Structure 1
């Protein structure tokens, strides 16, 4: 990904065209300030739902796009807690305890993966918005070029007048 700008459009200090500002604001609205909230899956049980809503409450920047990762994270956190409770009931020398530890480590990897998917820093979101704005500006430029290259419609009356003028100049009425 390109380096790009890491600040909001209202904090820009360089000279930027109105079209670029407009495109950046539109992209930021889509990427950074999206106000949709994540939705809990219907397959979550009541304890997993509580975890989901605690996670959602902790971060206002989660959007509907984060729903899947939040749902899975809630499930894995609940599963890990249950395994930990069962593990605590065993003696440390019990062989079954090591099986629980292996399962907990595997679940911990899943938890880390879903947490990393949810942790997109604000500066990265601004870079994404900047890249999206650049694409929008290029698309607008291409549209304008296509409009400029299209043949212009000729007014038939003006064409008739131009033909009559040519005939007058050549003297050919005939």
Structure 2
């Protein structure tokens, strides 16, 4: 179900009410603070791979422990991709091994794109979830307001008596 792109309310250019902006800001903060944990590699990485992993973690402060698998696999794929290209650069352009290495490099390229896409999903999902939570909060407030409007107003008995006396006076009917 395509729902369009979701952006943070701070980056949104659409016109929204103050209440909706406040609700979305609150929900985005709530969702962002749900998992303040840092991602950790899912399996052991070499020193070079660990450097790549840490670089990716620093690139986006919204990554959390749920992103660990995709980050680890992205790191592994990126490291292998780099090794293949470095080795290809040492070979002669007409060397037969280049064709096999290019195929392997393309496979890692696809894996890298897949893992990068997987990493963008959590942030998008977080924004979508905060947006949905804000919409629910706004609807609750609207329902609350409608219930308040539909409740019978409390009548001051003295004011009611004065109003009745005024009506009787106008009609001339004193009982």
- Taking structure 2 as the reference length, the TM-score comes to 0.60
Q: Is the 8 A contact 2:23 2:138 kept in 1?
A: no
Q: 1:14 and 2:14 equivalent?
A: no
Question: RMSD value over aligned CA atoms?
Answer: 3.7
In the other structure, the counterpart of 2:99 is: 98
Give 1:55 shift: 1.2
Give 1:90 shift: 1.6
Report the Cα distance in structure 2 between the residues aligned to 1:135 and 1:93, rounded to whole angstroms: 62
Q: Is the 8 A contact 1:2 1:131 kept in 2?
A: no
Return 5+ residue gaps in structure 1 as ranges.
142-174
In the other structure, the counterpart of 1:111 is: 112
Q: Is the 8 A contact 2:6 2:124 kept in 1?
A: no
Secondary structure of residue in 1 paired with 2:98: helix
Give 1:131 shift: 1.3
- Residues 1:50 and 1:63: Cα distance change in structure 2 (over 3 Å): same
Report the Cα distance in structure 2 between the residues aligned to 1:16 and 1:76, rounded to whole angstroms: 45
In the other structure, the counterpart of 1:37 is: 38
Give 1:118 shift: 1.9
- Residues 1:65 and 1:110: Cα distance change in structure 2 (over 3 Å): same
Q: How many residues get paired?
A: 137
Secondary structure of residue in 2 paired with 1:119: helix
Return 5+ residue gaps in structure 2 as ranges.
142-175
- Residues 1:112 and 1:7: Cα distance change in structure 2 (over 3 Å): same
Report the Cα distance in structure 1 between the residues aligned to 2:118 and 2:125, rounded to whole angstroms: 13
- Taking structure 1 as the reference length, the TM-score comes to 0.60
Deviation larger for 82-91 or 37-46: 37-46
| Superposed counterparts of 1:16-165, under 5 Å | 16=19, 25-26=26-27, 28-31=29-32, 34-120=35-121, 125-134=126-135
Report the Cα distance in structure 2 between the residues aligned to 1:2 and 1:120, rounded to whole angstroms: 14
- Residues 1:3 and 1:76: Cα distance change in structure 2 (over 3 Å): closer
Report the Cα distance in structure 1 between the residues aligned to 2:90 and 2:6, rounded to whole angstroms: 53
String of CA shifts for 1:59-88, please: whole Å, max 9, x gaps: 222122211111001000111111112212
